[in-house]
Chains A and B, each alone.
Chain A
């Protein structure tokens, strides 16, 4: 049973743009904050969800890709002639054919990275296993699959580059035009790292740490239904891409169409967790296939093997040559480290990950002097894409390892180490050394709650007793941040010429002809319950009930509820999406108020909103005079003769754009506010490593989250559970491992083993609310969870095995890897991995 603890903290509240109410009375927070049942549930439990593969179009064709079995090879021959003669085949496509029809995709990276030619299919060489080389379009899925077998491709293998360290050697180049495998490099340096290292009481040197590749693996793979209409030249997409504005900005120049000609639509999406952002190369191929097939719709349903090999993985990162300066009390004064991010074969959304981590530069700690020498390389592996906790979790894991390793080395308990180093609640809002502003948070109280939930003190005693019996029990803590609502201006730190910055979202609230309240969202929900949260916000704004608010599911360009930032990513809907919708609802309220004042011959200040016998209405306080929404809508839409001219601007179709108050960062100093909100998670776990099987078993697990005001606590708790499971799965089961030839070893679920009901521990959950001073109702975006379980489980394993001489240096740990770690420890393999320099006294206190 999940235990529950809730503490509410009063945060500092500041004035928020768009949050004040207007002339027609104040809105109350009646629905926001309530754990109401989701609007989405009934259709989804009835099999009435509409996922892309459920959609059909007349004359629809099916596409099947032929993919490279090699990680790195020249393509010497592609022969589609047999496939073209196969029954049911309409046409084929090859990379070289496509090259003549499209521009390569935009590269975000500067300099050499601009020379990467990323086409939607391989042209003359393949750079990862699973890269599409050719495709066949047929009347049925069966015919397409049969014909794909008949396409002949000859390869001349090239030396594969599989690890980041190998990539840095530049011996075999993926993209010769770039001249190197290093597609981005930059130094993030704040404070005086060298001086601090020289003067500190202790300097801890840490050898190589490695954050493994894993992925989102939503249960629904990528699916695209494309129709390039030869008459209009418009491309219609039913798809589950979760960042449609990004995709269309990549697709329009590549395909040579106006961006207005790309229509995208989603309804229900079977999970995303980031990874569906980068499906646009396949969207391009499907459009080209539709055009070649004479304007017939083409559907692509990605198989799971294709998804594992060739959609996207999370970023892999290696941390080298780390030095940590500490004072005599274990306060971390400086961190210096070299990080090599591995983005796979094509950068695509990268190298944004080379700056995104800097949103959480010091993690939850007060450390002021930091230097990270950041590199990103390309390797012959699947390209990466944003994966729940994108780029921040790798860095947060690194910092948590630093905390634990330093604590173990200096003999300071893990909880104490954190409490000493945490940013204090009275320091909030806290400006980080690189200019980010942590809005609110009380990490020490979260830790205290997590310890109570997990039974920390009891387990400590049990651990002492168990150790005497020779058992390996460890207690671990993971503190993490889920930064939300990103400032795209951080892209300028990657490439000063990047033409984007800030953050915006659209909401539309209208009264339809018969007076129904209809909301269009500028988001792409994948299970986060946006329809429900939106209805709660609108219900409060209009003082009606959420069931009277009709929220259109999914995304549709036809709703016109988008800007160039529109998508669902970066833990932000509760802030950006809902503030936009709130703004639109308040505009509608103002219009209704003006209309009602005229019709009821009253003053706006005397009106109130509510639900009467005739449904939602506006009434004159203390009287029987009221007008319902049907009548108000009627006045504007179908019965508008005689309406005074000063009301003609009323449309009852109100669109509001939320703008986050961001500046463009100082590119030279790599300094500025990169994110608006900082939800936090502190997890605590007890893990035992079986002495005989070396299997790690979770004995107790607690999660404490703080996302400020929870708009719908039921949804928030669900997100906490999901993020925790994703992290526990990544820590113990899920790994996109490659062999030395660049073959993906986890190409099916049977090898990748996504976490199941027999693996997950009971999660003991606690919730805290420190309100964000920067958002509408104090909410902070959440849902990504910052990979807290990976940090926590590694910490607990470290605690369990440190007496045996093991350093947990990888984010993925299994019975097998722990067995090998123990063997390594026994043969002295960790000697020198962690080294401490002690000085007699710190000359200066920081």
Chain B
């Protein structure tokens, strides 16, 4: 399988990438890791006339911690985050990074690229919505910062204009007493999850939930904030009853479609189970426990 022909441009800087986008028009696409775009191009489901490769731009692969804000450059690969200090301090980021596809894809794919692709099954769109995340976009008019909620508009659709490029992803580090988890069920590692859930809880005391973010992945055209589920926990003790209420609300918020990964009804059940487990892990982490969490795979 081979992509349709395209012309290839190598940008030396982000500004040059933007300039190329302007010059080449709407049929040009930026390529970073390429782990979503290249498979689509090989299937000829995407056929850009030009690719602008940003992989050779220096300095975009760094993770900065700037006054409680984690800043991920446009070329930070999933594996960079998986093995970074940021992943230790914010475990939900590690859960997400370490669960994406497989080692090879994590070595190449980028966080910025994943968000810009806005695949409904992409993990970052789900996990980062459980945190305060914004996306820095550079265009001919300069830079603008878009909250993630507003960045991803629809399946494969973002707030980026065709002349803009993602230059950085910024995540506000959660406060002390906050803990999160991103869990997914996947049939095997290289594929997208059947369903995923991201939960970030901030506790007022050992068991009272001060704030909650609950996000559902792969069960809608974009990641879904289950706000009623969050309300079901906010200000309340994390007991079985409240968790059950939150899980039920999360299930109701899901809007899945049937496909080879599972039927819509089943995905709704599955996402509920994942939310429940993610709440449990998030709560333990919020209490300061170190909990290893990983995705579940078929068979084991």
Contacts and interface: CB of A to CB of B under 8 A. Distances in A.
Contacts of A816: 262-263, 266
Contacts of B260: 737, 745-746, 751
B44 interface: yes
Given A693-B273, A750-B191, A759 B262 contact: no
A819 B189 contact: no
B276 A692 contact: yes
Contacts of A690: 273
A742 to B, nearest CB: 16
Interface in A108-154: 141-142, 145-146, 149
A732 B185 contact: no
A182 B255 CA distance: 42
Contacts of B298: 695, 732-733, 753, 759, 814-815
A816 B272 CA distance: 14
A623 B120 CA distance: 82
B297 interface: yes
Interface string A713-749: 0000000000000001000110001000000011001
Which of the listed residues B5, B274, B276, B297 has the most CB atoms from chain A within 10 Å of its own CB?
Answer: B297
Contacts of B272: 692
A558 B279 CA distance: 67
A351 to B, nearest CB: 30
Given A145-B2, A756-B190, A815-B262, A693 B297 contact: no
B299 interface: yes
B185 to A, nearest CB: 6
Interface string A687-716: 000101111111000000000000000000
B88 to A, nearest CB: 23
A455 B49 CA distance: 61
A145 B185 CA distance: 36
Contacts of B259: 745
A179 interface: no
A814 B194 CA distance: 12
B265 interface: yes
A815 B297 CA distance: 11
Interface in B46-102: none
Nearest to A758: B297
Contacts of B44: 149
B89 to A, nearest CB: 27
B40 interface: no
A758 B260 CA distance: 19
Interface in A669-699: 690, 692-698
Interface bin, chain A? 35 or more
B269 interface: yes
B241 interface: no
Nearest to A734: B187
A695 B185 contact: yes
Contact of A756 (B188, B194, B265): B188
Given A733-B187, A815-B262, A758 B1 contact: no
B265 A305 contact: no
Given A758-B300, A815-B262, A819-B266, A753 B276 contact: no
A815 B270 contact: yes
Contacts of B5: 142, 146
Contact of B263 (A733, A761, A820): A820
A83 B278 CA distance: 54
Interface in A258-308: 303, 305
Contacts of B276: 692
Contacts of B189: 756, 758
Interface string B239-276: 00000000000000000000110110110011011101
B1 A693 contact: no
B296 interface: yes
Given A815-B270, A819-B265, A819-B266, A759 B296 contact: no
Contact of A693 (B185, B192, B265, B300): B185
B2 A728 contact: no
A755 interface: yes
Given A758-B188, A761-B300, A694 B269 contact: yes
A760 interface: yes
Given A737-B260, A820-B263, A815 B2 contact: no
B4 interface: yes
Contacts of A758: 188-189, 297, 300
A733 B188 contact: yes
The secondary-structure label for the interface of chain A is: loop
B266 A820 contact: yes
A452 to B, nearest CB: 23
Contacts of A753: 187-188, 191, 298
Which of the listed residues A737, A749, A814 has the most CB atoms from chain B within 10 Å of its own CB?
Answer: A814
B266 A815 contact: yes
Contacts of A814: 262, 298
Nearest to A698: B299
B185 A303 contact: no
A401 to B, nearest CB: 21
A759 B300 contact: yes
B188 A146 contact: no
A107 to B, nearest CB: 34
Given A695-B185, A815-B185, A761 B299 contact: yes
A733 B260 CA distance: 10
Contacts of A698: 299-300
Given A694-B269, A814-B262, A760 B188 contact: no
B123 to A, nearest CB: 15
Interface in A6-54: none
Nearest to B259: A745
A549 to B, nearest CB: 39
Contacts of A696: 299
Interface in A754-804: 754-756, 758-761
A692 B273 CA distance: 6
Contacts of B274: 693
A756 B190 CA distance: 9
Nearest to B271: A693
A275 B109 CA distance: 34
Contacts of A737: 260
B191 A732 contact: no
Interface string B185-202: 101111110100000000
B190 A146 contact: no
Contacts of B194: 815
Contacts of B1: 145, 303, 305
Contacts of A728: 299
Interface string A804-820: 00000000001110011
B4 A755 contact: no
B263 to A, nearest CB: 5
Contact of A755 (B185, B188, B191): B188
A444 to B, nearest CB: 29
Which of the listed residues B2, B187, B259, B269 has the most CB atoms from chain A within 10 Å of its own CB?
Answer: B187
Interface string B213-253: 00000000000000000000000000000000000000000
A456 B263 CA distance: 34
Contacts of B296: 693, 695
B185 A759 contact: no
Interface string B270-300: 1011101100000000000000000011111
Contacts of B265: 819-820
Nearest to B4: A146
Nearest to A305: B1
Contacts of B299: 696-698, 728, 732-733, 755, 759-761
Those 5 A-B pairs whose CB atoms lie nearest each other, nearest first = A692-B273, A759-B299, A816-B266, A816-B262, A758-B297
15 contacts: A145-B2, A696-B299, A733-B187, A733-B188, A737-B260, A750-B192, A753-B187, A753-B191, A754-B188, A755-B299, A758-B189, A759-B299, A814-B262, A816-B263, A820-B266
Given A692-B269, A695-B185, A819-B266, 12 more contacts: A142-B5, A146-B5, A303-B1, A692-B276, A695-B296, A728-B299, A755-B299, A756-B189, A756-B190, A758-B297, A759-B187, A820-B266
